Amino acid sequence: MTVAGKYVNEKRLDIIANNLANAQTAGFKASRPVFEMISTAQDETGGSGLLKNSYVNLSDTYIDFSDASIVESGAKLDMAILGPGFFSVMTPEGVQYTRNGQFMLDKSSRLVTMGGDPVMGKGGEITINVTDGKEILIESDGSIYLGKDLVDTIKVVEFKDMKGLKPVSKSNFTYTGTDAGETPKVYTVRQGSYETSNVNVVLEMVDLIATMRAFECYTKIDQMFSDINSKLTELAKF
């Protein structure tokens, strides 16, 4: 059982480390572990209601899609979604979805992510040919205006099956579900802002310390059993 305990806590450490590494990544969503009880004795309990020889196994992980804080950056092309939904971006691997609204214009005047991936509008890629004296205005529904001229509307998509969203980078997701996604009924796009990571550093650090202690405890127990087995092997020779 000590091997299982070490494995579970090692995987927990990996999850926590990844969360902490992305605590400052805009739009990042933290991962959480899913545990299950495994038993090798189905008909006995140890008095506490727990099955004898039972142990906890890390069966899966899930993404915590809870909202994060909104930062007022003042940058005209930064956007935050208040409510459900994701921005659609076109990557070399296909369409991906993100809550990271830190955008800019590339050399071709396309609206892109900081990684250079085009941000999708309802009409496809968004091109904003900025001219002198014309201000970029983004309405609450995602409509982008250059002066008084409508350029396009940001494509915001939500999905019925959130489990179908799989992380592929620090803040991007692909969708593996069956529905095509749809525009949220209620949402707001806020210009000059972006969503931060939803990682709570304090809670992650508390969990990190507890997990490290548990891992060390299982390691010591494992070593103790190893020493006992070695001594028993030596005694058996006499």
172-189 pLDDT, tens digit per residue, is: 999 998 888 999 999 999
Amino acid letter for position 127: T
Better-predicted residue by pLDDT, 233 or 43: 233
Q: Which residue has the tokens 């002066």?
A: 147
pLDDT at residue 131, as a whole number? 81
pLDDT at residue 67, as a whole number? 94
Q: What is the mean pLDDT of residues 138-156?
A: 97
pLDDT exceeds cutoff 70 at 52: no
Q: CA 123 to CA 30: how far, in whole Å?
A: 32
Q: CA 23 to CA 125: how far, in whole Å?
A: 30
Domain definitions of the chain by residue range: 2-66+209-236, 70-195
Q: Which residue has the tokens 């006499």?
A: 238
Instruction: Encode 127-144: b = buried (16+ Cβ within 10 Å), e = exposed.
Output: bbeeeeeeebebeeebbb
The least confident of 5-9, 72-76, 79-83, 120-124 is 5-9
61-87 pLDDT, tens digit per residue, is: 899 999 999 999 999 999 999 999 999
Q: CA 94 to CA 82: how far, in whole Å?
A: 25
* Residue 114 near residue 104, CB atoms below 8 Å: yes
* Residue 108 near residue 114, CB atoms below 8 Å: no
The least confident of 21-35, 90-104, 140-154, 208-222 is 208-222
